[in-house]
Structure 1
Amino acid sequence: MSQRKGRSALTRTELDSWRVFIETTEDLRTALAGRLQAESGISVGDYRVLLELSEAPGRRLRSSHLADAIGWERSRLSHHLGRMEKRGLLTRDTAAGDNRGAEAVLTDEGHDALRRSSVPHFHAIRELFIDALTPGQLAAARDIAETLRDHLAGLKGPGD
């Protein structure tokens, strides 16, 4: 953890580091999202939902758990699931044993869409991220990301 905890003013170096980090990660996300949409016809949101469902037992998840897993508000997810359902990528069923809850269920068509999109998406990840870094830089990027993730998790209060 930084020794500068509690200091409010940012130095020019700190601000420059923050800006290059955030701007570059946004550029990377935009490039990956554009490639995914162009090459596969699915959005990053679609991909995240399909991936979570594909890894879930029975390829199904309660909508509330899916929203938590991908970090979306439930209303945003509900609208998105409706659009995906119209395209045949998933169905929505009543949760087993609980008529109040709903589950998103991955269809075979959705599973195929995920499988077809993964290969070009992984190629784009390699080209735009992995190949730009040395093995040491890649390890450092992971270490930085894990440190930031752990720091943010430690800032969350109960129930967040």
Structure 2
Amino acid sequence: MIPEREQIGSVDLATWRVVPADGNPDKDEHGAWAIAGGDSDEYDLYLEVREADRPREVARFVLEAVTRHARGLRLRGALADVAHVRDRQPADDERAPSNPSLPDVTKLAHLVDAVGGLAHEVSRVVPRDERGAHQDRLYGQLAQVAATTVAWMEAVLSERTPDPDAGTNGA
């Protein structure tokens, strides 16, 4: 059976692993191997690799590629959310962290304020039925901290490079 895209997306990637296929109890390197996912003994996801010279290596390769792709998608999504929050920060406010002439201690105060909001959200006791809303608020606070940090980074770059598109890639 070939799993549907929705099935694959619903199984926590952290639970995916390479296992000997059902027909390979001796864990023969050239026998069938599978990518399995799920928390229980019965897999929620099971993709068998049989028709390959080295099925175990193929299964590992696929698992690593899917993991790398998923991490990339999450990273791009998170960075897009940070950019969205950053775009909403006032560009013409001379007290904004992106203002290169603002003293670093003031920029730090902005960042500490954002971290304080995050700390407040993390310290809350959250009833089970409110966890989704809590995760949304927590994510928003994290995006705020990241956007404030990015604004400060922009100020540093504006002092170091005349090209606004140039990063340092040294970090």
TM-score w.r.t. length of structure 1:
0.28
TM-score w.r.t. length of structure 2:
0.27
Structure with a larger share of its residues in helix = 1
